[in-house]
Amino acid sequence: MAQGMYHYISEVWKKPSRDLLYDRLIKWRAGDAVERVDKPLRLDRARALGYKAKKGFIILRVRIIRGGRRRERKKVKGRKSTRQTVRKTLKMSYQWVAEVRAARKYPDLEVLNSYWIGKDGQHYYFEIIMVDPKRPEILSDKNINWIARDANRKRAERGITSSARKSRGLLNKSRNLKIRPSLRSWNRKGK
């Protein structure tokens, strides 16, 4: 049975070949950390997450450094060695961090959603779908005009985008439960 175009695009992105991304990654690494692009690289994923090719929708490519969140060790004296924490743990996923950086770079726009597009030895790359909530094309579209309400301002910073909710443990589709509070904590309450 013949499949649609989006099916074949998604099949290619399940195991992207090195040749497909190699030249692009070199160009992306030389560019800015947050760059506006003309159209989405993964059209199937962007459309599934709400992107439309109309005025008011903007795609940004964001570059995030990989690896642990290492901090420079303090050079001053008079500090306990246990307080000289070099490696910090951040509760946010890389994708959520990318959304927050895009939202700070373009404060007039709102983050709709985001998806992974690649990684190399140093960086992760994500595409962020941004929406201009003040444009008349967005306000007149009944499927997306919810983003113009005051309750949806600064979605990325408040952690209510899809990747942020997943990182916070609020999306667990396999059991239809939220992970927080954990099941272990419920068991402890009973004792």
pTM given for the model: 0.81
HSE, CB side, 13 Å, CA atoms: give it for residue 104.
11
Token representation of residue 126: 């994500």
User: Above 80 in pLDDT, residue 89?
Assistant: no
For residue 150, the 8-state DSSP code is G
pLDDT tens string 4-24: 888 988 888 888 888 878 889
Q: What's the rounded Cα separation, in Å, for the pair 174 and 166?
A: 12
The amino acid sitting at 62 is V
Q: Locate tokens 């890389």: which residue?
A: 94
Token representation of residue 46: 């962007």
Q: How many CB atoms lie within 10 A of CB 35?
A: 13
* Beta bridge mates, 110: 131
pLDDT on residue 17: 81
pLDDT on residue 21: 85
pLDDT on residue 88: 67
pLDDT on residue 9: 86
pLDDT tens string 148-164: 999 999 999 999 999 99
CB 40 within 8 A of CB 62: no
Band (128; pLDDT cuts 50, 70, 90): very high
Beta strands 110-119 and 87-88, pairing class:
unpaired
Give the domains, in start order, of the chain with CATH numbers. 5-72+81-153 (3.40.1120.10)
HSE, CB side, 13 Å, CA atoms: give it for residue 43.
10
DSSP reduced 3-state for 2 = coil
Q: Which residues contact 1 (CB under 8 A, 6 or more apart)?
A: none
For residue 73, the 8-state DSSP code is P
Max Cα–Cα distance, the chain, nearest Å: 72
Using a 10 angstrom Cβ sphere, with 0-12 exposed, 13-18 middle and 19 or more buried, the burial of residue 92 is middle
